[in-house]
Amino acid sequence: MQKHRSDKRLAELAAAPHISVLFVCLGNICRSPAAEGVLRDIVDRNGAQDRWTIDSAGTGDYHTGDLPDRRMRVHARMRGLELTHHARQVREADFDDFDLIIPMDASNERHLRRMAPTPEAESKIIPMMDFCTMATCYDYVPDPYYEGSEGFELVLDLLADTCSNLYTTLTPR
State the catalytic residues.
Answer: 25, 31, 143
Tell me how far apart the terminal alpha carbons of the chain are, to the nearest angstrom: 26
List 30, 35, 54, 115, residue binding ligand 4NP (CB under 6 A): 30
- Site track 50-89 with ligand 4NP (rule: CB under 6 A), x = hit: ------------x---------------------------
- Are residues 39 and 100 in contact, defined by beta-carbon separation less than 8 angstroms? no
Q: Rounded distance, CA 79 to CA 58, Å? A: 23
Q: Does 138 bind ligand 4NP (CB under 6 A)?
A: no
Name which position in 20, 22, 31, 54 contacts ligand 4NP (CB under 6 A). 31
Q: CA neighbours within 13 Å on the CB side: how many for 172?
A: 10
The DSSP string of 133-152 is -S--S-SS----TTS-HHHH
* Chain centroid, CA 30 distance in Å: 11
Stretch touching ligand 4NP by CB under 6 A, among 11-19, 28-36, 124-132, 157-165 = 28-36
When CB distances to ligand 4NP are compared, the closest residue is: 27
User: Cα 124 to chain center, whole Å?
Assistant: 13
Site for ligand 4NP in 143-162 (CB under 6 A): 143, 145
Residue from 95, 14, 106 nearest 57 by CA: 95
Instruction: Check binding of 26 to ligand 4NP (CB under 6 A).
Output: yes
Report in angstroms how near the CB of residue 89 gets to ligand 4NP at its nearest: 12
Q: Which residues bind ligand 4NP (CB under 6 A)?
A: 25-31, 62, 143, 145
